Structure 1
Amino acid sequence: MTHRPETYIYDALQAASAIEAFVAGQGYADYQESALLRSAVERQFEIIGEALNRLKQLDAEMFTRVRGGRQAIGLRNVLIHGYASVDDAIVWATLEQDLPLMQADLETLMGSSDA
């Protein structure tokens, strides 16, 4: 099955929206205290990283227009393969600082696509 870049952009956007919903009204202390919240957020970051990795393979030029794309793939790899060394502070900083920029870029790409 051949996918279009928009498929991966959409998947990443859906995961980013889920993260926003999960952490709405929550702070870093809430995040640290809740295994459920951490698991939910980490899973969505895994999806974002995988979707962006597939986008990079399918359309490298489009991928370069996503700020933090390489970092998202790196975070996905840590979450999957280095699960024992996940730093909550890094995940939280990523969702506060990098996720909004990445989400804006993905929305722009989705809006400019022929989807």
Structure 2
Amino acid sequence: MLPESAAFLWDVRAASVRITTFTEGLTAESYATDELRKSAVERQLEIIGEALNRLRKADPEVAQRIPDISRIIGLRNILAHGYAVINDSVVWSAVAERMPALLTVVENLLNELR
């Protein structure tokens, strides 16, 4: 694993933890009506997607170990460039259903560095 790979993974981990904190106790419905939290979560998803995009370019071997990396990067692109078509239920699904698995994978990769 390249040294910069760890930095990208740390960024993914930090943003994932922030999202978990921001969404604690929310439902899909309460998330959809909370503009402040939606903005915060979307920004952290952009960070995750950008970090993974850079990881994929710098260290494809490590990047291929992250499930759905292309979908995560694609979500980042929608959030950054397609802001008018953001679907709250898609974002919520990513956060509620997929974020825990991503965080586990990233933490395991970081543990390999220790």
Query: Which digits, 9 at most, give the CA deviation of each residue in 1:42-95, with x for residues without a partner?
Result: 000000000000000110010011112111100000000100000000000011
The corresponding residue for 2:48 is 48
- Give the letter for the 1:21 counterpart: T
- Give the letter for the 1:90 counterpart: V
Unaligned runs of 5+ in 2: none
Q: State the Cα RMSD in Å.
A: 1.3
Q: Structure 1: which 4+ aligned runs deviate by more than 6 Å?
A: none
Query: Where do 1:75-86 residues align within 5 Å?
Result: 75-86=75-86
The corresponding residue for 1:62 is 62
Structure 1 distance, partners of 2:46, 2:57, is 17
Structure 2 distance, partners of 1:47, 1:6, is 15
The corresponding residue for 1:14 is 14
**Aligned residues between the structures:** 113
2:65 is paired with a residue of what secondary structure? coil
The corresponding residue for 1:72 is 72
2:25 is paired with a residue of what secondary structure? coil
- TM (normalized to structure 2)? 0.95
The corresponding residue for 2:106 is 106
Among all aligned residue pairs of Structure 1 and Structure 2, give the percentage whose two residues are the same amino acid: 38
